[in-house]
Copies of this chain bind each other. A is one copy, B any other.
Amino acid sequence: MPYFDAASAAPLHPVARQALLAALDEGWADPARLYREGRRARLLLDAAREAAAEAVGCRPDELVFTSSGTTAVHAGIAGALSGRRRVGRHLAHSAVEHSSVLHSAAAHEAAGGSCTEVPVDRSGAVDPAAYAAALRADTALACLQSANHEVGTEQPVAEVAALCAEAGVPLLVDAAQSLGWGPVPAGWSLLTASAHKWGGPAGVGLLAVRKGTRFSPQGPAGERESGRAPGFENLPAIVAAAASLRAVRDGAAAEAVRLRALVDRIRSVVAERVPDVEVVGDPVRRLPHLVTFSCLYVDGETLLHELDRREFSVSSGSSCTSSTLTPSHVLKAMGVLSEGNVRVSLPPGTAGADVDRFLEMLPEVVAEVRERLGAPVSAPPSPGPAASLVVDALGRRCPIPVIELAKVIGEVAVGATVTVLADDEAARLDIPAWCEMRGQEYVGEEPADRGSAYVVRRLS
């Protein structure tokens, strides 16, 4: 069945599998030991470090292997913040970073540090000038992802790096989504990545810290990986990670061209054939393999389930697919629709025919889900007589509040308002997004006894 969620995890690359099997036999011993099994393990570890460093574009002694991309981010941020504690305790990061960055920032704030979240535009990108404005005299560290994991938008890393260098602030680049496709533009001070995103095994992350970057590892001391990653090295997985990074990179340029074309096809066909859809993220400055769109009046979980029944595996940033019932912070920061959200991320080797089948089937599935939810099918009728209306959607989950809004907008006169009472978190994002898509005016949010009152003025 077509698996279109490479941004979550990719099946193990054949080269990774081969390297893993070989290293299970040759590299199980402790590389810190003096006997031959240990020396053999040490050689494998050194070779893996050299290969990974070459792919990253750093010196081998600048790179350590961690137990995941998340732990690389946690260790990198904590170590860099502590290393520059004398400068100050301010951390800058974009609003659309991976949760591992946001959780590190929250922990930093809880410990008395301060953070600035740099906003993004509707495509998901930061503005370099806005990023530079967030840097302060007491900024210890700046974080910026190379490309976004939910919408694929590439960040202006080189520009931001130059501005950070000018301000004397080290930049940590989370390259989890892009490292398999190519090196990060120069200028970073710290870089993190995750092997299972490029077809390597789970259990391996990378943390590179440029020489000259002040860094003080946090947590209990460790003897391994320069004290930057505690615990016994997961050597077979490290060997497999390094081997597969090299292999993936060898074919990356050609595969990027091919997948980029497939994603372009998805972007245009979805926009054409699915009514009331918002295809999000930068159409050009983006990861080659990833596209995200949101469908009005659609419940993300049901959509995913229907796609899964038809053997397509995709993910979603809709609130109903999240354990916390909040929409994706990325879609929220972009100000785009979150209901009926679908992220398609194609693994290398994806067949064009599978993408075609997906595109053939999608409009029908979306229509089916909408029908089941009683979503409005046509544009609002000519203005009705009502001066203003209140819709009670309290206790109703996404996408119901928006559906209810759409149903009644035709009943009010142009210039009149519809007020939607809702306590579902997604409404806060999706009602303004609906207005944007529909050419109606979003007046604002007002406090209410329960939930919030979202006021919309009919313009046409």
Binding site for B on A (CB under 8 A): 1, 3, 5, 8-12, 17, 20-21, 24, 28-30, 32-38, 67-71, 74, 78, 99-100, 103-104, 106-107, 194, 196, 201-203, 205, 219-223, 230-237, 301, 304-305, 307-308, 312-315, 321, 323
Contacts and interface: CB of A to CB of B under 8 A. Distances in A.
A70 B232 contact: yes
Contacts of A235: 202
Nearest to A201: B236
A232 B202 contact: yes
Copy tally for this chain in the complex stands at 2
Closest 3 CB pairs of A and B: A68-B231, A67-B67, A203-B234
Contact of A219 (B30, B202, B219): B219
B8 A313 contact: no
A232 B24 contact: no
Contacts of A33: 5, 8, 313, 315
A24 B12 contact: yes
A220 B3 contact: no
A221 B74 CA distance: 10
Contact of A107 (B30, B107, B219, B304): B219
Pick the most buried of A1, A21, A35, A307: most chain B CB atoms within 10 A of its CB. A35
A223 B68 CA distance: 14
Contact of A106 (B196, B220, B321): B220
A234 B202 contact: yes
Pick the most buried of A32, A33, A38, A305: most chain B CB atoms within 10 A of its CB. A33
A308 B34 contact: yes
Contact of A5 (B11, B30, B104): B30
